[in-house]
Amino acid sequence: MSAALRFFRWTRWLAPAVAFLGFGAPAPAAPDTTTSSSRYTTGTKTRDGIGKYYFGREIAHYMTHEGAPWLDRPERDAEERPDLVLQALGLKPGEIVADLGCGTGYFSWRLAQVVGPRGLVYGVEIQPEMLDLLAVKMKERNVSNVVGVRGTIEDPKLPQPVDLVLLVDVYHECSQPWEILHAVCERLKPGGRVVFVEYRAEDPTVLIKLLHKMTEAQVKLEMTALPLDYVETIRTLPRQHLIIFRKAAAR
């Protein structure tokens, strides 16, 4: 294991001591005078954040492609139980799914297996290096129904309407959360679902940095700004929430 990867893994899990000492706790946000949007505020920039706040939450720095080995760590299967995630999603053969912030495709190929050859998975990333890694991984697994898509921080650029959009450990890093989710909603089929998988901030035993965890209440709060109806929260995962929303019917 490289020294860089060891450092990345150590710092990502270093949370309780930081929280105990009071570092990294979001400060009260101040009005944002640098943008025309009133959705965001600026405040104290903590070590792991960008100094931009949404509904009182400081947005975390996103992980670059240099941290890609973290996404394929051997212990991830036990820590995140992708089998339980897929079971909770209840996908059907032939459905079209977007894996938003897909990274190296850890979930993409699993989703592709479930939707089958008549289905399709869009692996969406903003980093071309991640899309290159996705292509390599899918070729290694002989997966042909995963298509890489280069999105932006404001738009996943989905080529067609989808049945489900999955965001695993990624939403808290979206620097334009309203814009990206608004664009997602525009590309959801009627009744389509958006699913968030986030480490539980309510649980101090989940040893992830504070800004890389979210409470269920915070996720629900932020979705009130979008045409999404809360469906349910699945609590079978060892360390994460699985929170499901459905595209609201036209009102």
30 & 75 share domain: no
- Alpha-carbon separation of residue 133 from 69, 136, 218 (angstroms): 10, 5, 32
In tens, the pLDDT along 164-198 reads 999 999 999 999 999 999 999 999 999 999 999 99
Question: Residues 6 or more apart from 224 whose CB is under 8 A from it?
Answer: none
pLDDT tier at 251 (50, 70, 90 boundaries)? low
DSSP-assigned letter for residue 210: G
101 & 146 share domain: yes
Domain span including residue 149: 65-247
17 & 139 share domain: no
In tens, the pLDDT along 41-55 reads 999 999 999 999 999
Give the residue-averaged pLDDT of 61-73.
79
Q: Quick one: tokens of 91?
A: 């996908």
Q: Is 233 a residue whose pLDDT tops 60? A: yes
Give the residue-averaged pLDDT of 98-106.
96
Cα separation, 112 vs 59, whole angstroms: 30
Question: What's the domain count of the chain?
Answer: 2
Tell which wins on pLDDT, 162 or 250: 162
In tens, the pLDDT along 109-132 reads 999 999 999 999 999 999 999 999
Q: 97: domain CATH number?
A: 3.40.50.150
Q: Calculate what percentage of the chain has a pLDDT beyond 90.
A: 78
88 & 176 share domain: yes
pLDDT tier at 63 (50, 70, 90 boundaries)? confident
One-letter identity of residue 130: M
113 & 22 share domain: no
pTM (two decimals): 0.85
